[in-house]
Amino acid sequence: MNIKEHFRKGLEEGYKKYLSVHPRSNEKIIPIHKAVSEIILSKLGGEEAGFGIKSLGVDDNKELIFDGKYYSKSIDIAVLYKDEPVSALGFKFITSNYKQNSNNYFENMLGETANLKRAGFLYGQIIVFKHKMPYYSSDKKTFTKIEHINEENLAKYVKLHNDNVPLLYHKPDIIFLAFIETGDENEFEKIVRSNEQGKLQQINKRDFHRSLISKVKVKFIETGNLPDNAFSDETLNFLRKVSDFEKFINAFINLTKGKTYGK
């Protein structure tokens, strides 16, 4: 199994679902969670090795509800060993209006990580950013700009990654962070350029999204292909460390197996 390609196809199918369903529908995340779950279960050796997965898209199509240290939490992808939860991954796929919610995303990640790790859970995070991200107007009738994740947005992730004092319960045990192109970027940019020229082009968001589905082709953006001078050397080094999906999965597998030692 080419695990990066399997993951890419899951992202592609999930993004197409995102364009075709109601924004609050969980259908858009099912293909992605399913792909990651299949990769992990295969790497762990499956049921024969005593492992199972609780996630949308696999088995009974339900997430694990885990009693964390402070509150109960639905976990995106949970790994079980001999029917006991031992590790998990959270997943974030950010496709629009990121910057206004940047700190909220980060704070939520810190909180959920602390809640699970304080309860003895091994916990990692997968974060995927659409590289050219449309910013919807408040009334959802047009796009005011295209956003790019910049140095300031990633600085908090870099600081967290470099923070290595003991007992950092709010820091994920492992993290994967990557940028993707989705193949439909030009269609968003056309509307933004039209609006900038004074030709206000309003949209029906539902119809517009559905018109993009045939154009979708997800592609990972390698760190070396990011725009020149977009990030400092420190941030680029961070991205190189956290954007290798195969290394991330193998590390998560090794950490998970370590948690099962003696059980």
Domain count, the chain: 1
| AA identity, residue 107 | E
Q: How confident is the model at residue 136 (pLDDT cuts 50, 70, 90)?
A: confident
Please report how many Cα atoms fall inside a 13 Å half-sphere around the Cα of residue 97, on the Cβ side: 11
Q: What is the mean pLDDT of residues 157-177?
A: 94
Rounded CA separation 242/156 (Å) = 14
For residue 260, count other CB atoms closer than 10 A to its CB.
Answer: 17
Q: State which residues form the domain around 177.
A: 3-259
Query: CA-to-CA distance for 32 and 250, rounded, in angstroms?
Result: 18
Mean pLDDT for 59-63 is 92
Mean pLDDT across 164-176: 93
Read off the pLDDT of each residue in 248-260 and give the average, rounded to a whole number. Answer: 95
Cα-based distances in Å from 127 to 51, 109, 179: 24, 10, 9
Q: Which pLDDT band, with edges at 50, 70 and 90, does 210 fall under? A: very high
Buried b (16+ CB within 10 A) or exposed e, 57-95: bbeeeebbebebeeeebebbbbbbbeeebbbbbbbebeb
SS (H, E, C) the chain: CCHHHHHHHHHHHHHHHHHHCCCCCHHHCHHHHHHHHHHHHHHHCCHHHCEEEEECCCCCCCCEEEECCCCEEEECEEEEECCEEEEEEEEEEECCCCHHHHHHHHHHHHHHHHHHHCCCCEEEEEEEEECEEEEECCCCCCEEEEEECCHHHHHHHHHHHHCCCCCCCCCCCEEEEEEEECCCHHHHHHHHHHHHCCCCCCCCHHHHHHHHHHHCCCEEECHHHCCCCCCCHHHHHHHHHHCCHHHHHHHHHHHHHHHCCCC
In order of 98, 180, 185, 214, 233, the CA distances from 223 in angstroms are: 20, 11, 19, 27, 11
* 8-55: pLDDT as tens digits: 999 999 999 999 998 778 899 999 999 999 999 999 999 999 999 999
Report the pLDDT value the prediction gives residue 127, as an integer from 0 to 100.
97
The two three-digit tokens of residue 236, written as one number: 């680029």
Counting residues of the chain whose pLDDT is more than 70, the rounded percentage is 99
Confidence of residue 108 (pLDDT cuts 50, 70, 90): very high
Residue indicated by tokens 């916990």: 123
